[in-house]
């Protein structure tokens, strides 16, 4: 299948919540389309009626929206295309590429048992395949047949995979594929081919669990008179235990990472590196990724998910984000902690708070934890820090500092001067004052520069927290 314009697709089955291993299979075709000025199509393969759910569809759409994997067409739903599939089935019947097979499931199971016992590869034996001079068995009464595709019995089928190199299968190893069930419902491999043909897909970029489907699909493309697309089969994404990532093995929905405060650009950066590389570049923007991306640098070995590495990547993107933009992304996370949106709008502190604390945080949730301390009336103090620093010896310096900040000009420089004056007056060193002040005002002993924190916290809150203990 050739076209001047690149057209790629993401075609998930909504049978479970989409996880990072799945979404990487959306990222690469999206990136290739964007890098080449092509089109990116979303198709929902929902023919598994027993397991497909609207909830799973919603997570797919939400996850792609969060990651800003914008689509040019779709979503298309396979269940809405049944009339088209049946029309193409009739076309293949007329051309002699399919035939009815009346073998029952019991007969098929018995055949496979015999083949297994004889140490043969279990496969359909062509009982109902029409051949010149062959006499077919009598058609059993009351049995609705499946439709099977007449796979070529000699020669081979192969393709140059953009990820795995040349792959070839002997046709003699492939039996006749069922492409329609007894009720006429078409099967997966057939629907995919019709969809990709109709949607003019030029490049199929998908997981390597589909490699064994590809020779069968190539045969169907050829029977339909169209050239197959270019294939790139991506290596598996493994979980932290080295197993294939799956919901059954603890993989989290993509939306969990959104709710946990990861940045979409950081996720794109991290996922891109799970099977593609650009030299030694670890951290890059979305724009750089699209500028660099091609199919020639896809990895050939499985990528392994590492949440520690993901948090590090997210931290780098968080640090690089402009404070104003970071503040906008942070707002809903602060509101979720119980801070009223009106309180955030009451002054212009939030971008400066972001600038002060972002170097200490891995996620927006972490940053929201710090930011809320500037807007709430009461805070919880770390018990260990309080026991270590809120000692009897700290009481006099704290009282002196409370008196000083009650009347000082409200600038960082003036607060710093007040701190130093109390140190000199009390004959103590900075940690002996700064640590207890931090515990009382922020709940912990370690924060960014104490004068910068106090300036943003405000005189009223500082005095309330100093005097309340």
Q: Which of 159, 140, 68 is nearest to 101 (CA)?
A: 140
Strand partners, 147: 100, 180
Q: Which two tokens stand for residue 101?
A: 């097979």
**Which 3 state secondary structure label does DSSP give 244?**
strand
* Bond preceding residue 159 cis, omega within 30 of 0: no
CB 41 within 8 A of CB 7: yes
Round to whole Å and give the CA distance between 90 and 124: 23
CA distances (Å), origin 371, targets 344, 374, 377: 10, 6, 13
Q: 11 CB contacts (<8 Å, ≥6 apart)?
A: 42, 43, 44, 45, 192, 195, 206
Q: Which two tokens stand for residue 40?
A: 């990116």
Q: What interhelical angle do 430-442 and 412-426 show, nearest 10? A: 130
Catalytic pick among 93, 164, 244, 247: 247
CB 455 within 8 A of CB 411: yes
Q: 410 CB contacts (<8 Å, ≥6 apart)?
A: 455, 458, 459
- 424 catalytic residue (yes or no): no
First to last CA, the chain: 74
Give the DSSP H or E segment for 179: strand 178-180
Round to whole Å and give the CA distance between 91 and 95: 6
**Tokens 């199929």 sit on residue:** 204
> In Å, how far from its chain's centre is CA 440?
41
Q: Which two tokens stand for residue 309?
A: 């590495």
Residues annotated as catalytic (active site), given as ranges:
247
């Amino acid at each position: 299948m050739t076209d001047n314009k690149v057209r790629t697709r993401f075609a998930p089955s909504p049978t479970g919540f989409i996880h990072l291993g799945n979404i990487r299979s959306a990222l690469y075709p999206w990136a290739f389309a964007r890098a080449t000025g092509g089109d990116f199509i979303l198709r929902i393969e929902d023919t598994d009626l027993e397991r497909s759910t609207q909830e799973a569809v919603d997570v797919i759409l939400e996850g792609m929206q969060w990651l800003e994997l914008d689509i040019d067409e779709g979503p298309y739903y396979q269940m809405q295309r049944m009339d088209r599939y049946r029309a193409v089935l009739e076309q293949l019947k007329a051309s002699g590429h399919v035939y009815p097979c009346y073998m029952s499931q019991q007969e098929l199971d018995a055949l496979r048992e015999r083949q297994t016992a004889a140490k043969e590869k279990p496969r359909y034996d062509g009982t109902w395949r029409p051949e010149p001079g062959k006499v077919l068995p009598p058609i059993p009464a009351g049995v609705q047949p499946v439709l099977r595709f007449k796979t070529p019995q000699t020669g081979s089928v192969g393709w140059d995979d953009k990820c795995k190199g040349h792959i070839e299968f002997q046709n003699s190893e492939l039996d006749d594929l069922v492409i329609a069930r007894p009720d006429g419902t078409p099967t997966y491999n057939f629907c995919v081919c019709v969809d990709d043909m109709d949607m003019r897909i030029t490049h199929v970029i998908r997981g390597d669990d589909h490699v064994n489907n590809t020779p069968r699909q190539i045969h169907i493309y050829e029977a339909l008179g169209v050239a197959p697309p270019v294939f790139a089969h991506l290596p598996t994404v493994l979980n932290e235990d080295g197993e294939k990532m799956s919901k059954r093995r603890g993989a989290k929905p993509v939306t969990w990472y959104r709710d946990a405060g990861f940045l979409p650009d950081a996720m794109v950066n991290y996922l891109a590196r799970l099977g593609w590389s650009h030299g030694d570049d670890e951290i890059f923007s979305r724009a750089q990724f699209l500028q660099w991306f091609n199919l020639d640098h896809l990895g050939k070995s499985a990528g392994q998910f590492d949440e520690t590495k993901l948090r590090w990547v997210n931290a780098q993107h968080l640090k690089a984000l402009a404070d104003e933009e970071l503040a906008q992304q942070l707002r809903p996370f602060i509101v979720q902690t119980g801070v009223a949106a009106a309180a955030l709008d009451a002054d212009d502190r939030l971008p400066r708070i972001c600038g002060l604390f972002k170097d200490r945080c891995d996620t927006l949730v972490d940053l929201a934890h710090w930011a809320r301390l500037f807007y709430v009336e009461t805070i919880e103090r770390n018990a260990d820090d309080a026991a270590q620093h809120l000692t009897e010896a700290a009481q006099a310096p704290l009282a002196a500092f409370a008196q000083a900040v009650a009347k000082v000009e409200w600038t960082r420089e003036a607060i710093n001067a007040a701190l130093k004056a109390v140190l000199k007056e009390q004959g103590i060193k900075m940690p002996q004052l700064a640590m207890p002040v931090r515990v009382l005002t922020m709940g912990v002993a370690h924060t960014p520069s104490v004068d910068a924190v106090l300036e943003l916290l405000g005189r009223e809150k500082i005095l309330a927290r100093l005097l309340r203990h």
